[in-house]
Structure 1
Amino acid sequence: MSDNTTHTLQQQNEYHKLTLWERVSYGFGDFANNLTFGTVGGFLLLYMTKVNAIGLGIASIIFAIVRIINVVWDPIVGTFVDKHTSKAGKYRPWILRAGIPLMIFALLLFAPLPFVKGNVAWAFIIYFIMDLTYSVVNIPYGSLNASLTRDAESVDKLTSTRMMLANGANLLVYTLFPMFVQMASPKDNHLQDTGLFGLKLSLGTYTDSSARNAWFSVYLVYAILGAIAFFLCYRFTKERVVATAEQTAQVKTTDIFVELKNNRPLVILGLFFMLAFTFMFFMNTVNGFFNQFVVQHSPWMGAIGLVSSIPGIVFPIFWPRLKKIFGKKGFFNFFLGMFVVGELLIWFGQ
């Protein structure tokens, strides 16, 4: 086979039309990541302070220290991944190499062991390791997206599919997780209104130390689901757009900082996402406290989570069409406007 023929076949392979199963398989990675990131981000602080008897100030410091370390850790991970490859690919292997340990470390955060209660060192070390491991999964996973295909239509559909699965995981996390934990919590367990169309369930106090086994048991199921999802993502995706050895050799840890220095649009985009994700993480973290101590009706946690999850599952179906109507910038502004209006309604509706 001539070099020209090989090059042509490679180009055709890079513009491969992704099948529905390939898109779903990739989206399983988002599903698994959100089962971990959503649960830890949305409920770990509540668990640490109300169930595991760690002071709010100490817990906040733990979170802050780990976030600061991430600023340095993430570029190191990205560079290392870009410079190494294997027979299984450059990005795919990390989904299993780090994905399964990620689920284990996340599960250990809710371990109902006697010495864990109130143990600041344990909480810090396990959360620290888990968060570093999350980067080792999520950074290669994000890069895998661009290596699946260059076909623009497939990329648009892939984005919609992965967001549907990501928000499907959010549904499990923000709607069902607190409900399942309350159902398994022994203290004051009695029939209560869930806020879901008159549905009443036997719910207990999930912010009491007696609920430690309930938290662990429910998250154990989620961890198993996440591990299966990571395996499916690894098994049924294929890297087609691969960097050359010359391109890989030029990658440096400092590249991102050089780009930030010279690329003003990237700086603006980076600042936007920093603010957006900070705000989103803040909202997710305080959500449990808000329902427990402001709304004072924790049984409604599932109902409130359902309301916030449904748009994220439904809207991605229409994203490709909306992009064609509004254009990328108009599409972005449209949903940003919806986000701002929604947050204002929450704020002034308190």
Structure 2
Amino acid sequence: MSESAQARTHLPWRVVLGYGLGDMANNFSFALGLLFLLHYYTDVAGIPAAAAGTLLVVVRIYDAFMDIAAGRVIDRHRGFGYERRWGRLRPWLLVGALPVLVLNVAVFSVPAGWSPTAKLVYAYLSYGLLGTAYAFVSIAYGSLAGVMTQSPPARARLGAVRTWMSSVTFALLGFAIAGSLRSLQGEALQSRLTLLTVVLAGVGLLLYALCFFNTSEVVPRKAEALRWRDSLPVLRQNLPLQRLCLVTLAALAASGCGSASGIYFARYVLGNAGLFSPMILTTSLTGIGLAVPLAPLLAARLGKVRAFQLGMLLAALGHAVLWWLPAGHFGAVLLCMAIGAAGATLGMVLLWALEADTVEYGEWRSGLRLEGTNYALFLLTRKCGLALGAALPAFMIASSGYVPNLATQSDMARQAIVLGMALLPALGYATAGLLMLRYPLSESRYLEMLGELRRSQT
């Protein structure tokens, strides 16, 4: 790690793009689960909606606490003996890639001939094991941005490219899923999903390797074994991280609720599962073409906090108007989704950069740099938010008289689907924006704090 972190204010595009490819690999399991897992469990695997919703809450909350354990391991680990050559974080991308991608195949391969109880047990075990493996890879990957550079603009670019790659992955998977739903069902659909996840596993291994070989760790860190009791005071003193976690909980609950409801909305409210493709394409292209490029510019002009609040305002507005629209006006539906996606994507880009800033805040307050534990706590709230967001539609449709694969659902079932697609996400995004009013780490204060840290290290 001979290169100066201070000097690395501009990251070459090879490095930035290589970092983003890691998030594309992550989303082969994460995005597929967010978009399709609830629908897969209810309409393909035959697991009742209420049981599927409970499963998502239980396993994702387990995942969230598993992230804390993984973060502690990563903070204490020495890079499998290759820390001086490869760093502490990057080796986890190679070690964890195969387990994550193989377990993703297992999650979407619930045995059709098993009893309902056996299916449910299989779903808990396979999804829980995937979350365990994913925790180590995702925390190492997410923490990597904080050790590649300390430049706020460079971190904003890293946040932008990972969100761009995430949007691309969502679009590709949305097309694959919608195409399968249009033409297949039952065993044929299950076979197509198994093939899809196997192909994703092969491509994902390549993408993780490209991320590993194109990134490097340059921010210095004291080589000391940190005990959990040493970490707790650092987390307690990190007020920006605590506030950011509350904001993230609300924003990700909104995102998870809308994502889990999307297929149901296209299939049973709009009446055509094929419309899921243009829905995903609209939201993804809006993020890729508008929000991601604008995020660093708006962050530089307004500051990350104000730019994030602007994003939450747009996201809340888009989903709130969607609540009042008649289902027949598909063009207006797409416009509302585009506005909501632009705001939500802008916010998600900036959350990654804001989280990296909180690592320096904790180091400034305590002298200890906890990338893994810091990021794990951030991920804990993300996963709790996503668990809440994904479970709410499941519980609502379970209590509304929803019947899997029935072409015409009851009015109550359709209303529950629209509630999960529109009004609940709007409330979540609005809450996230309001919570950010009290964020305690301004842009100017961060730069002052970073200067103090650098002077103390020389």
TM-score bracket relative to the smaller structure: 0.7 to 0.9
1:289 to 264, 267, 274: 264
Query: 1:269 aligns to what?
Result: 244
Q: Contact 2:179 / 2:274 at 8 angstroms: preserved in 1?
A: no
C-alpha RMSD of the superposition: 2.3
1:180–1:251 Cα change, 3 Å:
farther
Query: 1:102 aligns to what?
Result: 100
1:159-238 to 2 correspondences below 5 Å: 159-174=159-174, 176-182=175-181, 203-206=182-185, 208-238=186-216
Number of matched residues?
A: 318
Partners of 1:106 and 1:226 lie apart in 2 by 11
Partners of 2:229 and 2:271 lie apart in 1 by 47
Q: Percent identity?
A: 24
Q: Contact 1:36 / 1:223 at 8 angstroms: preserved in 2?
A: no
Instruction: Tell me the TM-score normalised to structure 1 length.
Output: 0.83
Query: 1:333 aligns to what?
Result: 309
Partners of 1:329 and 1:347 lie apart in 2 by 28
Structure 1: give runs of 5+ residues left out of the alignment: 1-5, 183-202
1:229-248 to 2 correspondences below 5 Å: 229-246=207-224
2:16 to 18, 23, 45: 23
1:71–1:178 Cα change, 3 Å:
closer
Q: The residue matched to 2:217 in structure 1 has which SS?
A: coil
1:1-350 to 2 correspondences below 5 Å: 10-11=3-4, 15=8, 17-86=10-79, 87=82, 88-111=86-109, 113-115=111-113, 118=116, 119-174=119-174, 176-182=175-181, 203-206=182-185, 208-246=186-224, 249-252=225-228, 255=231, 258=233, 261-314=236-289, 315-350=291-326
Larger mean CA deviation between 147-156 and 211-220 belongs to 147-156
1:239–1:104 Cα change, 3 Å:
same
Q: Displacement of 1:306 after TM fit?
A: 0.8
Partners of 1:42 and 1:300 lie apart in 2 by 14
Q: Displacement of 1:267 after TM fit?
A: 2.6
Partners of 1:279 and 1:254 lie apart in 2 by 34
Aligned residue type for 1:179: A
Partners of 2:77 and 2:234 lie apart in 1 by 22
Partners of 2:143 and 2:229 lie apart in 1 by 16
Q: Displacement of 1:95 after TM fit?
A: 1.0
For residues 248-268 of structure 1, give each alpha carbon's deviation from its aligned partner in whole angstroms, at most 9, with x where no partner exists.
x2352773x545644444332
Q: Displacement of 1:214 after TM fit?
A: 1.6
For residues 120-160 of structure 1, give each alpha carbon's deviation from its aligned partner in whole angstroms, at most 9, with x where no partner exists.
11111000100111111111111111111223332232222
Partners of 2:240 and 2:219 lie apart in 1 by 25
Instruction: Tell me the TM-score normalised to structure 2 length.
Output: 0.65
Q: Displacement of 1:31 after TM fit?
A: 0.9
1:278–1:29 Cα change, 3 Å:
same
Larger mean CA deviation between 113-122 and 300-309 belongs to 113-122
Partners of 1:178 and 1:294 lie apart in 2 by 18
Partners of 1:123 and 1:252 lie apart in 2 by 32
Larger mean CA deviation between 270-279 and 157-166 belongs to 157-166
Q: Displacement of 1:12 after TM fit?
A: 5.8
Q: Contact 2:59 / 2:128 at 8 angstroms: preserved in 1?
A: yes
- Whose helix proportion is higher, 1 or 2? 2
Partners of 1:13 and 1:272 lie apart in 2 by 29
Structure 2: give runs of 5+ residues left out of the alignment: 327-458
